[in-house]
Amino acid sequence: MQTKAFSELFPLFNTANPETLDWLLSVVVEHEYPADRAVLMEDAWGNAVYFIASGWVKVRRLYGEDAVTLAILGRGDFFGEMAILDESPRSTDVVALSDVQLLSVSAQRFIQTLFRDPQLHHRMLQLMVKRLRFTNLRVQRRHQPPAVKLANTLISLAENYGQATEDGMEIFNIPSKDLADVTDITVDDTNKIIEKLESKGWLKIDSTNQTLYLVNTKQLTHLAGRV
C-alpha cells in the first residue's frame, strides 16, 4: 500500500508526517479473517493495534453465557489501542462480521510511533474523544423512541463507514441482534422498524450480498432528530 493511500484510508493518520507513515508501512502485518471468526479475545493482554482495511467487525463484552455487542466498526477504523495504552488485559473481544482484512502494528512499535510523531499522538486523542462523545450521546438518547435511536445508529454507521452508490449509502447488513445491542433496543423492535423503513422505501436490503442501503438519508436524518 502506498503512503498516500494509507493516510487516506485511515483517518488516524491524516496528519501524520510522511516519515511516520513510511515507517509504519514497513512494520505492519497483514491479516485476513472470515466472517464469525474471533479476531481478539477478552482477557488477552494487548500486543498490537489493528486497523481495518476492509470489512466489518463487532466489539462485544461477555457476560457468562451471553454476549453484548458494544460497537460496530468498519473500514478505516482501528481497535486494540486501549489494552496497549493502559497496559491491562482486554475487557472486550472482537469478532468479524464479514470477511475482514486487517493491518496490525505491535504494541511496542505503536507506542514508539506515538512518541516520535506529536501530530499522530494528538490525532489519536481526538478520535478517542470522539468515541467518548458518541458513547455519551447514546446515554442521552436512552429514553428516546426506538425508531429515533435506530435511525441514529444507521446514520452514524453510514457517516463513518458508508460507501456512496447509485442505490444509496451502502453499509453492511448487520445482524438484528448486534444492531439492537448497539442501539439499546430490543431485537423485536429492530426487526419491526427495519421492516417499516424498508416498506417506506427509506432502506433497501440485499440479503444475498449482505448489504443494506440507506436510500433516503434525508428522511432518516430527520427521523433521527438531527435537523
Domain at 203, CATH number:
1.10.10.10
The CATH number of residue 56's host domain is 2.60.120.10
Percent of the chain with pLDDT over 90: 56
> What's the gap between Cα 112 and its chain centre?
25
d(CA 66, CA 151): 26
Domain stop point among 139, 172, 198: 139
Q: How far apart are CA 189 and CA 180, in angstroms?
A: 8
Cell of 157: 454507521
Task: Using the predicted structure, report yes or no on whether residue 100 has a pLDDT greater than 80.
Answer: yes
Domain total for the chain? 2
Give the mean model confidence (pLDDT) for residues 87-111.
Answer: 85
What is residue 152's predicted lDDT score, i.e. its pLDDT?
Answer: 94
| pLDDT interval class at 91 (50, 70, 90) | low
Residues 134, 161 within the same domain: no
> What is the distance of C-alpha 71 from the center of its chain?
6
Same domain, 167 and 107: no
The better pLDDT of the pair 47, 154 is held by: 154
Give the residue-averaged pLDDT of 6-21.
89
One domain for residues 134 and 38: yes
Instruction: Judge whether residue 130 has pLDDT over 70.
Output: yes
User: End of a domain among 93, 120, 139?
Assistant: 139
Q: Angle at the Cα of 59 (from 214 to 11), degrees rounded to 5?
A: 65
Q: Are residues 217 and 117 in the same domain?
A: no
Which range marks the domain in which residue 203 is found?
Answer: 144-223
Nearest to 33, CA basis, from 77, 107, 95: 95
- pLDDT single digits (tens) 64-75: 778 899 999 999
Last residue of a domain, one of 97, 121, 139: 139
Examine the domain organization and report whether 125 and 155 are in the same domain. no
Return the top range by mean pLDDT from 18-22, 55-59, 92-96.
55-59
Characterize 54-64 residue by residue with b for buried, 16 or more Cβ atoms within 10 angstroms of its Cβ, and e for exposed: ebbbbbbeeee
- Residue 79 grid coordinates: 481497535
The mean pLDDT value for 24-48 works out to 84
